[in-house]
Structure 1
Amino acid sequence: MLKEKLKNKQLILASGSPRRQQFLKDLNLDFKIQLKSVEEIYPPNLKGADIALFLAELKAKAFDGSLQDNEILITGDTIVCIDNIALGKPKNAEEAYQMLEQLSGRTHEVISSVCLKSTEKTKLFYDKTVVYFKKLTSEEINSYIKNYQPFDKAGAYGIQEWIGQIGIEKIEGSYFTVMGMPTHLLYKELMNF
């Protein structure tokens, strides 16, 4: 249905994330990948969803002036929030450990945003999921960091990986949002775009 609606459009995914690429494949969409380097810095006064939306739009702005009339650009960002503080991607094992220790035994929010952009318009949207982590042991945290190297993931974890399987007790919201793309909203917004 969506593929038929977009038959005269070229989708461009501006993400190196294998998970986001797989989501578009799973939605049966044809797309090409184009990456532009963007420094992910946001104003310090932003909180929660505003950070995720700002970063998704920032990534889309890197394509200003380079989109063709038939192209739709898709950018996105995912942040993990605990105690009103956004956790980005850890720079090293020590930072990853601190993040996972902070999430251990607590709930946090995962916010995934998307920006759709064409030569005519821009549409920003996001989804939020609450994640409940069990109390993790230092052995579990260290083993996960050593074996999975979660340095490309906000909050230093992937729900689909071992730590998610043994550590997440429940979620309220979309599993796909935690993985980095609110696919239900992406489908709806592309249908209307």
Structure 2
Amino acid sequence: MKFVKEYERIGKLDRDIKNIILMSKSPRRRDLLSFLNPQIKINPIDERKIENKFMEVYKTDDFLTRVSKTCCEIAKAKSNISLDEDSLYISADTIVLIDDKIYGKPKTLEEARLMFMSYFGRVHHVVTSVCLRSRTYLDVFYSLAAVKFVDYYKDLDPLVDSYIREENIMDKAGAYGIQDLDNRFIEYIMGDYNTIIGLPVSEISRRIFGVIN
């Protein structure tokens, strides 16, 4: 399985980039990019409108590819603003999917529990798309990860109940944060762990410093 796939690339990143701007309010993404000391900006967009449009545009693709390309368009839209000179903008989006369903942020604790319980004994995918954008450069790609939960057994119930009750899962796509999970839930992970958290840091660093250094 190829874990990083290209979506769109135009132009070349200048070597005199002075500012890194993260287009996200996510504290997890901010922490992952702390080594770049990014400024934070937000460009509110209608993610569901973009999702509906491009899921239709890419309807002939298999479901995973269709979702991944749509995820890229959402990331692009987040940095579609007036760009400052000498600045690199980083925007991203993360989607959790299982079979042919997209799991967004749960609206209720009951929905969160249903999502969470559906992972046991199955593989689900997490896709994080990234858009690197400057005045002279556009680079859009996505990173995939596969997560397998263990087969369910009854002694896991207290762990599930505790997680649903105590963790702030309502703001997390798919009703979980991989960094918060009890190790007994996970059978294996394929791909970049940070993709599941919300930003494939090693790939971003390679693309930036492979160009401007």
> Corresponding residue for 1:38?
45
Identity of aligned residues (%): 34
CA deviation profile, 1:111-156 (whole Å, cap 9, x unmatched): 1111111122321011111101013445433321110021121111
Is it true that 1:88 corresponds to 2:104 in the alignment?
Answer: yes
> Aligned residue for 2:169?
150
From 68, 71, 80, give the equivalent of 1:49: 68
Matched residue count = 183
- Report what 2:133 is aligned to: 117
The 8 Å contact of residues 89 and 152 in structure 1, kept in 2 or not, is answered as: yes
**Residue 182 of structure 1 aligns with which residue?**
200
Match of 1:172 among 175, 190, 194: 190
For residues 60-97 of structure 1, what are the alpha-carbon distances to aligned partners after superposition, in whole Å with 9 as ceiling and x for unaligned?
12x2x2x2111111111111111032211112212211
- Structure 1 segments unaligned to the other structure (5+ residues): none
Do the aligned partners of 1:77 and 1:180 also contact (CA within 8 Å) in 2? yes
Measure how far apart 1:7 and its partner are.
6.3
Q: Segments of 4+ in structure 1 off by > 6 A? A: none
TM value normalised by structure 2: 0.78
For 1:147 and 1:130, the matched residues in 2 are separated by 25
Letter aligned with residue 69 of structure 1? E
Say if 1:48 and 1:84, in contact at 8 Å, map to a contact too. Answer: no
Q: Normalising by structure 1, what TM-score?
A: 0.86
1:174 counterpart letter in structure 2: D
Bigger RCO of structures 1 and 2 (CA < 8 A, at least 6 apart): 2
| More displaced stretch, 152-161 vs 82-91 | 82-91
Mean CA deviation greater in 152-161 or 31-40: 31-40
CA distance in 1, matches of 2:167, 2:15: 37
Paired with 2:74 and 2:30, the residues of 1 have a C-alpha distance of: 18
**Unaligned 5+ runs, structure 2:** 1-13, 59-65
The answer as to 2:34 corresponding to 1:22 is: no
Which has the larger displacement, 83-92 or 73-82? 83-92
Counterpart of 2:180 in structure 1 is: 161
Aligned-partner residue type, residue 150 of structure 2: K
Deviations 1:7-61 (A, max 9, x none): 6421100111111111111xx2131111222221112435321122121112112
- Distance, in Å, in 1 between the alignment partners of 2:17 and 2:191 is 33
Amino acid in structure 1 at the alignment position of 2:73: F
Cα RMSD for the two superposed structures: 2.0
Which residue pairs with 1:11 in the alignment? 20
Measure, in 2, the Cα distance between the counterparts of 1:58 and 1:121.
Answer: 15
Partner Cα separation in structure 2 for residue 48 and residue 15 of structure 1: 20
